[in-house]
Structure 1
Amino acid sequence: MGIAKTFFVAATFLAAASSVIAGTSKFTDLPGNPDLKSASAIVLDESGNLIYGKDVDTVRPIASITKLMTAMVVLDSGIGLDEKVTITKEDRDLIRLTGSRLEYGATLSRREMILLALMSSENRAATALGRTYPGGMENFLVHMNRKARALGMTNSHFADPAGLKKENVSTAADLAKMVTAAEEYALITEATTTRRKDVYPYKGRGNLTYGNTNRLLKNASWDIELSKTGYINEAGRCLVMQANIEGEDVSIVLLNSFGKLTPYGDSNRLRKWMLANS
């Protein structure tokens, strides 16, 4: 076989192989519609290809989904995760007036504060992480928005580490980028998929038990690798996840769902639609 013919055969084989690889997702070009109730939604396969989209570029408040960015910025800084962080009056929620079981003087490691902020959406824990960042809260917010720009989140803005302010905004498309980035952090995947955690923030007192805010973690039908919920009035119910469905990793973002259970209903509708049409 001549060199030219050998090259042609090899090139044809590589092209065919690439075509097969590119089309390996069973969720490509699915027919129909999952009829989601969330105002914005996006589902991407592990290569970043669109499986489903609804109003993906509308800028919306994102509530506690913000805490994923908070955790990434803290972890990027390299500051000590075993260092003790103590809750102070500065960590109060003066915006939504939400309560907390972390009273003034509660002390946990920075690692534990990240765990509580992510798994149980603890607002004081998230605020304390920003307050104790090198350079303080102002510098922390600068780094949150700098990280967003570095990830290509061009329609996003972060205004506080807990997601309490309505000025924490993004789009479904931008948040899919954030979810993909967050999955690279082992502590984030661990924290957001931990169903229950005991901590001991007070000397001489017993434990506090925290649970995960994502009820789908209790559902055996779901294989969730990362998740975060969020809610304030302006944002509605929000949910982002990285999940494995029938052996394929997918990113799911659901924003502005009306009703406490709607994000979970939408997630199940998505999964059912994907499996029925794959």
Structure 2
Amino acid sequence: MKLSFATAILSLSLLSFLGAAGAAPAASKSAKVTKVVKATKVTKAKAKPSARQARKVRSVVLRRPAAFVPAVATFGMAAGLHAVDDPLALKSSVAYVLDQNTNEVLFSKNPQAVLPIASITKLMTALVVVEAGLSLDEKLTVTEEDIDTEKHTRSRLAVGTALTRGEMLHLALMASENRAANALGRHYPGGMSAFVAAMNAKAVSLGMADTHYAEPTGLSSRNQSSAKDLATLVNVTSQVPLLRDLSTSRETRVSLGKRLVQFRSTNGLLSNPLWDIGLQKTGFINEAGKCVVMQARMAGRQLIMVFLDSSGKASRIADAERVRKWLATQGDTATPSAKL
């Protein structure tokens, strides 16, 4: 039963009186308590529901507040990168905007920081698969080896699911399907170890000195890179028509057994008419925070944008919007003064 306002006031007065009486002699305290009890009885006699009120007073329970559990710190938070201010007050600890045609850096924040990159890894996964010239029509089967034992994420691709390499590539880039990406690596000539070696070899050939890959999904925090290296990767992958098309696809339907299952893009900006995106990839694990890389046309320029370790559910998209609006006001006057 809930306490009424009058009953709550009465109970607080009674508790306060008893607390004060504890400092007086025992006989005096007993007498005062008796008077309080009698006074309470008189009040109850006048007001019919007195017995209920007495029971309500005794039922008051004080509970300790729940202990506060702090959020898991990203690598960027641990390194103090979020403490770096920037002119646009971005929530991302790393930001990088590059003119793809002139290589002019228009905005830069902690560009040399090497951090986990989560599912942005899948851009390199896709690039290695395409450059290997493997058949996109070959059927690949999901096995127990593709189950995520790193972060224990779920997947709609059950063990035994058979899709073409092209479909796996589509789901990995558009919907960030981890089992699809892992299956692509397993079915590479020489197996997973050969595939990861090819990923790292490609990074070296592109001059991505800050980059290292441990597996093809991005679930491992050992997959790390810098904003400058990722800009290089976006520049290369954006020149592959298939990767442009698959990464910017908004949705697709895939036949999984007797069901036709719909998958959607993880990047809501693809549906925004203010954005003209040529290639994109999002990413998230606890160690990396929210991440996104894109190639997009805006303010009359072909740009590459990198946002890493963003704090907040939608902050990476909000940061991208801040940069878009800033560029719209700058026009051709965006200068290195925005660099940090």
Q: TM-score range by the shorter chain?
A: 0.7 to 0.9
- Map of 1:263 onto structure 2: 316
The answer to whether 1:99 aligns with 2:161 is: no
- The separation in 2 between residues aligned to 1:169 and 1:263, in whole angstroms, is 18
1:36 aligned residue (84, 90, 95): 90
**Correspondence list, 1:100-139, <5 A:** 100-139=155-194
- The separation in 2 between residues aligned to 1:156 and 1:216, in whole angstroms, is 27
Equivalent residues of 1:119, 1:211 under 8 A apart:
yes
Q: 1:218-247 CA deviation, whole Å, 9 max, x = no partner?
A: 111111111000000000000000001033
- The separation in 1 between residues aligned to 2:209 and 2:278, in whole angstroms, is 26
The answer to whether 1:209 aligns with 2:276 is: no
- Map of 1:183 onto structure 2: 238
Query: Which residue identity does 1:276 align to in structure 2?
Result: T
- TM-score w.r.t. the length of structure 2 is 0.71
1:127 is paired with a residue of what secondary structure?
A: helix
Equivalent residues of 1:33, 1:273 under 8 A apart:
no
2:256 is paired with a residue of what secondary structure?
A: coil
Query: Which residue identity does 1:38 align to in structure 2?
Result: S
- The separation in 2 between residues aligned to 1:217 and 1:81, in whole angstroms, is 25
1:167 is paired with a residue of what secondary structure?
A: coil
What is the deviation of 1:199?
0.8
- Identity across the alignment (%): 48
Name structure 1 gaps, 5 residues minimum. 1-31
- Map of 1:70 onto structure 2: 125
1:247 aligned residue (300, 316, 319): 300
Could you list the runs of 4 or more consecutive aligned residues of structure 1 that deviate by over 4 angstroms after TM superposition? none
The answer to whether 1:227 aligns with 2:280 is: yes
Equivalent residues of 2:299, 2:327 under 8 A apart:
no
**Correspondence list, 1:80-91, <5 A:** 80-91=135-146
1:56 aligned residue (111, 122, 139): 111
- The separation in 1 between residues aligned to 2:299 and 2:110, in whole angstroms, is 26
CA RMSD, 1 decimal: 0.9
- The separation in 1 between residues aligned to 2:256 and 2:197, in whole angstroms, is 29
1:141 is paired with a residue of what secondary structure?
A: helix
Query: Which residue identity does 1:35 align to in structure 2?
Result: A
- The separation in 2 between residues aligned to 1:53 and 1:247, in whole angstroms, is 19
What is the deviation of 1:67?
0.2
Query: Which residue identity does 1:161 align to in structure 2?
Result: P
- The separation in 1 between residues aligned to 2:290 and 2:221, in whole angstroms, is 13
- The separation in 2 between residues aligned to 1:130 and 1:266, in whole angstroms, is 32
The answer to whether 1:156 aligns with 2:211 is: yes
Equivalent residues of 1:96, 1:164 under 8 A apart:
yes
- The separation in 2 between residues aligned to 1:257 and 1:150, in whole angstroms, is 29
- The separation in 2 between residues aligned to 1:115 and 1:239, in whole angstroms, is 17
Equivalent residues of 1:240, 1:252 under 8 A apart:
yes
Count of residues in correspondence between the two structures = 245
Higher-Rg structure is 2
- The separation in 2 between residues aligned to 1:76 and 1:267, in whole angstroms, is 30
- The separation in 1 between residues aligned to 2:256 and 2:146, in whole angstroms, is 15
- The separation in 2 between residues aligned to 1:201 and 1:159, in whole angstroms, is 29
- The separation in 1 between residues aligned to 2:149 and 2:241, in whole angstroms, is 32
What is the deviation of 1:87?
0.5
- The separation in 2 between residues aligned to 1:259 and 1:85, in whole angstroms, is 36
Query: Which residue identity does 2:88 align to in structure 1?
Result: P
What is the deviation of 1:37?
1.5
- TM-score w.r.t. the length of structure 1 is 0.87
What is the deviation of 1:248?
1.6
Q: 1:153-187 CA deviation, whole Å, 9 max, x = no partner?
A: 00000011000100000000110000001111111
Name structure 2 gaps, 5 residues minimum. 1-85, 332-340
Bigger relative contact order (CA 8 A; separation at least 6) = 1
- The separation in 1 between residues aligned to 2:205 and 2:187, in whole angstroms, is 23
